[in-house]
Amino acid sequence: MVVHGEREVLPATTRAEAAKALQQFTTAYNKADKEYDSSLDAGHTTGALADIDSARLKAGRANNPDGNPQHTPLKLTDAKFTIPKKAGWPRWFVADAAGNKGGDARWLLVFTRNGLDETWQAAYLTLVAPDDVPEFKTDKDGWAEAVPANSAELAVPPGELSKDYATYLKDGGDTFADGSHTSGWRADRKKNAIRPGLVTQWIDEPVTGGDYAPLALRTADGGALVFFTTRHYEKQTAHTGTSVPTPNDSVLALTEGEVKQSLTMELVSNEVALDPRKGSGKVSVLGRIQGLTSAKGE
């Protein structure tokens, strides 16, 4: 009998293979961080995490050609794996671990792959307070349930969260619950928009294609935990006769052109949110990690 993996509803992987994928990622991540060499973990990252990580390593190498003088190996312990059963590709799973960096926060990593012969790659990485990690819905064998991107059962279909978040950051609204990554971020922007001699503007864009596609897991209460990506542009413009404050070395390493009147920074952000059942509340953004990917001075 031939089993068609693209049609059969199967667990994405085994728990042993998931543990191995996490270990391989951590080893590669530490090698890349120590040498400031993105080629050393490029095969183990994709999507938003790859953008953020490779830019960080590029800036690090530009400023420290001999490697990372501050390198401390990342150690992930107490790992728990939530593995959904689903048909078709990509297959994916979530690793939830304690880290020796980031305080008490849990490290949530989403690993994906598009075929049996491919290496598992980490597409999302967020840090979340331990009490904010939800309980997932699982079957009698402990396998989780993936929620389709177009699910109409939730406050926001997972496939629309990136767009709705970008719109919220610009215009506000009542889709998202208050918090540091929602109302708090908007308040910070408002405070920093106009300062003596300097104006700052933002553009926020959804990112949903390919390895940036949102991934959602059913929670025990019928909602979903959703991982998604956004892109942000931040432009600082100095008044005539003044100049933009000199950026730090990491920003300069990723900047094209000369910073005089303006600096435009491009950032990629990956978020994790609790998306409740329709009619039962607002979306809560639990964690967000973002990184500068490029900049332009004029």
Non-local (6+) Cβ contacts of 241 within 8 A are none
The per-residue pLDDT for 3 is 46
| DSSP string covering the chain | ----TTTS-EESS-HHHHHHHHHHHHHHHHHHHHHT-GGGTGGGB-HHHHHHHHHHHHHHHHH-TT--TT-----EEEEEEE-EEESSS-EEEEEEEEESSSTTPEEEEEEEESSTTSPPEEEEEEEE-GGGSPPBPB-TTS-EEBPPTT-SSBSS-GGGHHHHHHHHHHH--SSB--STTTHHHHHHHHHHSEETTEEEEEEEEEE-SGGG--EEEEBTTS-EEEEEEEEEEEEEEEPTT--PPPPPHHHHHTEES--SSEEEEEEEEEEEEEEPBTTS--BEEEEEEEEEEEEEE-
- Is residue 96 pLDDT above 60, yes or no? yes
What is each CA distance from 63 to 110, 246, 248, 293, in whole angstroms? Answer: 30, 16, 11, 16
Residue 210 has a CB neighbour count (10 Å cut-off) of 11
The per-residue pLDDT for 1 is 41
Mean pLDDT confidence for 21-44? 98
- Is residue 2 pLDDT above 60, yes or no? no
Q: Is residue 168 within 8 Å of 177, Cβ to Cβ?
A: no
Determine if the pTM surpasses 0.75.
yes
How far is Cα 297 from Cα 95, in angstroms, rounded to an integer?
39
Question: Quick one: tokens of 176?
Answer: 């998202």
Say how many Å lie between the first and final Cα of the chain, rounded.
64
Mean pLDDT confidence for 148-157? 97
Per-residue pLDDT tens over the stretch 166-201: 999 999 999 999 999 999 999 999 999 999 999 999
How do strand 215-218 and strand 224-238 relate by DSSP bridges? antiparallel
The per-residue pLDDT for 8 is 85
Mean pLDDT of the chain: 96
Per-residue pLDDT tens over the stretch 232-271: 999 999 999 889 999 999 999 999 999 999 999 999 999 9
Q: Is residue 55 within 8 Å of 292, Cβ to Cβ?
A: yes
Q: Is residue 176 within 8 Å of 182, Cβ to Cβ?
A: yes
The per-residue pLDDT for 6 is 58
